[in-house]
Structure 1
Amino acid sequence: MSAALTREARQFLFATRHAVLSTYSMKYPGYPFGAIAPFICSQQAEPIILVNANAEHAKNMHENAKVSLLVFSEAQNQHAHAQLTLIGEALPSDKNDSDLRARYLRYFPDAVTYFDLEEFHLYRIRVEHVRYIAGLGRLDWFEGDSLNEDLADSMLASQESGIVSHMNEDHIDSMLEYCQHVHGVTADQAEMIGLDADGFDVKYMHGEEVYGQLRFNFDQPVLNAMDARKALVALAQAGRS
């Protein structure tokens, strides 16, 4: 698989929150069990899901950790848009990891009450195999470690919250310019939600109403706060030129 298509697959993964998680059914052995599973990605490009211990998925994963995650966009015509299938193992993740908790709740703020309930647990999916369909004639299988082999030195797990806070406190004007320059969207408020190796997400507003969320991809992967600063400054300069 080409490096360009692999990078595109990871960009799609980082940019997407919608998926169907399939686990090996304990109730009906031999059959997969699938259900919608909102997720975020860790800074190592591993999907993170929050699961109730009483849910079918939790029971299934306790007995057999092998899972499949079908990641898809919100587009109405699913046949014409990319989709990504991740095959791997669901492993317990530390719900008390403050950086991971903060990242998850920026994307899913309504989940805050679940984090305080003992029966809810975080899982990370260690990806073994990937099937990416980008469009007609642009599809392939590749190994899971291709998603994060260049992220071993990433420091964003501990630095992301600081970057996001800094942008939201001191650079609102820049984010409004990003929205206009990259997406042609005029907004009077913008807030960075999260930043990863391949880009960042911004929700934009008119008054108090949230109108949507926009994704901005970096030209090159960023691994730390300094890399992120350079990429964000370059994007701002491009918008003003």
Structure 2
Amino acid sequence: MSVKVGKHARELLLKEYRGALSTLSKAMPGYPFGSVVPYCLDANGYPLILISRIAQHTHNLQVDSKCSLLVGERGAEDVQAVGRLTVLAQARKITDQAAIAVAAERYYRYFPESEGYHQAHDFDFWVLEPVRSRYIGGFGAIHWVDQVSLANPFFGESEASMVEHMNSDHANAIAHYVELAGLPTHAPAELVGIDSEGFHLRIGVGLHWLAFPTSCNTALEVRQALVALARAQTWPSVGEVPA
């Protein structure tokens, strides 16, 4: 499996923010049980979900933590001609209070409505720790991927600070990113997450991931990339210097 295939698989996981969670049924042993869940990624690049204690998939995971998450490119007319990724994983409930607080801070930015029902009802954060993944990039492009995740060097206070700064002081730059990338303009965009390979914007209830031209591993590199994109006339492809 090439590094390029792993990158394409990871980018699909970043671009999407909801998927089909399959668990092993407690009520019907031996049968898979499917449900739809929103997700963002945690510090390790693993899918982070918030699920109700009374949900069927939660009962299933409490008996057997084996599961899978299927994500596919949204809005495709021919679903067999576009990318999709199945992440085989072990689900782990987050129980440490400090870890819950950190997970909640990021998840709420992605899904603001979740804060209310998380605090008012019996919901818990779970992490899906990948074991192996199956990536299909279109007809004939089929690969097993052993490593799809990439740790986020900014997860936590660093990311929160950059996000707050951009939303508070650089709304015009964010609007420019939306225009360059051809994203929807029905609602104001907000920056909600940053990783080494790109950043997420939330527009209404939709999430959109935009790739940096080159990977950023420090806050300074992120700043330089965001400034360059704010001055760019066209959205650069990966590896291209913004013009």
Q: Which TM bucket (shorter chain)?
A: 0.7 to 0.9
Matched, 1:134 2:143: no
Q: For the structure 1 residues 29 and 42, does the alpha-carbon distance in structure 2 shift closer, same or farther, using more than 3 Å as the test? A: same
Partner Cα distance (1:56, 1:168) in 2: 38
Partner amino acid for 1:102? E
Unaligned regions of 5+ residues in structure 1, if any? Answer: 205-209
Count of equivalent residues: 232
* 1:1-241 matched pairs, under 5 angstroms: 1-77=1-77, 78-94=79-95, 97-117=100-120, 119-143=122-146, 145-148=147-150, 151=151, 154-183=153-182, 189-204=188-203, 210=204, 213-239=207-233, 241=243
Say which is worse superposed, 132-141 or 88-97, in terms of deviation: 88-97
Q: Render the CA deviation track for 1:34-67: whole Å, top value 9, x for unaligned.
A: 1111111113210011111111111111111111
Partner Cα distance (2:156, 2:13) in 1: 17
Partner amino acid for 1:30? G
CA offset at residue 89 of structure 1?
0.2
Partner Cα distance (2:223, 2:175) in 1: 17
RMSD of aligned Cα (Å): 2.4
Unaligned regions of 5+ residues in structure 2, if any? Answer: 235-242
Identity %: 31
Partner Cα distance (1:215, 1:173) in 2: 18
Kept in 2, the 8 Å contact 1:177–1:239? The answer is no
Kept in 2, the 8 Å contact 1:69–1:87? The answer is yes
Q: For the structure 1 residues 187 and 76, does the alpha-carbon distance in structure 2 shift closer, same or farther, using more than 3 Å as the test? A: closer
Partner amino acid for 2:89? G
CA offset at residue 76 of structure 1?
4.2
Partner Cα distance (1:211, 1:39) in 2: 13
Kept in 1, the 8 Å contact 2:154–2:195? The answer is no
CA offset at residue 186 of structure 1?
6.4
Partner amino acid for 1:142? V
Q: For the structure 1 residues 213 and 49, does the alpha-carbon distance in structure 2 shift closer, same or farther, using more than 3 Å as the test? A: closer
TM-score (norm 1): 0.86
Partner Cα distance (2:187, 2:130) in 1: 39
CA offset at residue 226 of structure 1?
2.2
Q: Render the CA deviation track for 1:84-136: whole Å, top value 9, x for unaligned.
A: 10001000125653332122112211111222146211100110101111112
